Amino acid sequence: MVQLPLPKYLNQLNILSKISIDKDVDGLHPHNLGLIMMNKEPIYYPCTPLGCIKLLEYYDIDLEKQNIVFVGSGMVNLPLSVMLLNKKVGSITLCNENTENIKEKTILADILIVACGQPKMIKKDWIKENVIIIDIGINRDINNKLCGDVDYEDVIDKVKYITPVPGGVGPMTVCMLINNLIKNI
């Protein structure tokens, strides 16, 4: 297994490509990610995106007509957005550090998925009533307390569902990794 993120001087694609696709329990080998892009079953799905999908399935969230907005980019949001597109969602908007007026996009979300690495960035004035939020971020606030990218206390009275940080997506990632390990036995 490769622990991400890697230092900037290392070539992440080169290193991930060296993992045998049959042992890629993280689901990050370019072969597995490529199969997802082609709407084909990979040997292993990436753990965090799969954990998010399983959460949505467990809570029986209908994705068909949902406006899903992502904040952040990288190894989680991109494969997760494609996995959701493959499930026939309503629409997907991807926002990153180059997106202007992100708040105008997040306030339209039926489902907001955040993995941007900014502690408590999303506030209640960034969301609409009864939004479903999946907070993938894990940070430390100014008091050195673990928190997500969403200001949980600020938004809690406005959301339908929200994953806590810690204790939400992180444990799901670990469960999916264990599931992938068992699949390999």
pLDDT digits (tens, 9 = 90+) for 1-43: 888 889 999 999 999 999 999 999 999 999 999 999 999 999 9
- What residues does each domain of the chain span? 47-170
Fold that domain 47-170 belongs to in CATH: Rossmann fold (3.40.50)
β-pairing, 139-140 with 146-147?
antiparallel
State how far the Cα of 81 lies from the Cα of 170, in Å rounded to an integer: 18
Q: Does 65 score more than 80 pLDDT?
A: yes
Q: What angle do CA 17, 22, 24 make, to 5 degrees?
A: 55
Q: Provide the sign of the torsion angle of the four alpha carbons 73, 75, 76, 81, taken in this order.
A: positive
**CB distance 44 to 27 below 8 Å:** yes
pLDDT the model gives residue 91:
95
Given pLDDT bands bounded at 50, 70 and 90, which one contains residue 183? confident
pLDDT the model gives residue 74:
82
pLDDT digits (tens, 9 = 90+) for 74-125: 889 999 999 999 988 889 999 999 999 999 999 999 999 999 999 999 999 9
State how far the Cα of 96 lies from the Cα of 116, in Å rounded to an integer: 8
DSSP E strand boundaries for 17-147: 67-71, 91-95, 111-114, 131-135, 139-140, 146-147
pLDDT the model gives residue 5:
84
Place of tokens 């949902």: 66
CB environment 20-32: b (16+ within 10 A), e (fewer): eeeebbbbbbeeb
pTM of the model: 0.94
Amino acid type, 183:
K
Q: Does 185 score more than 80 pLDDT?
A: no
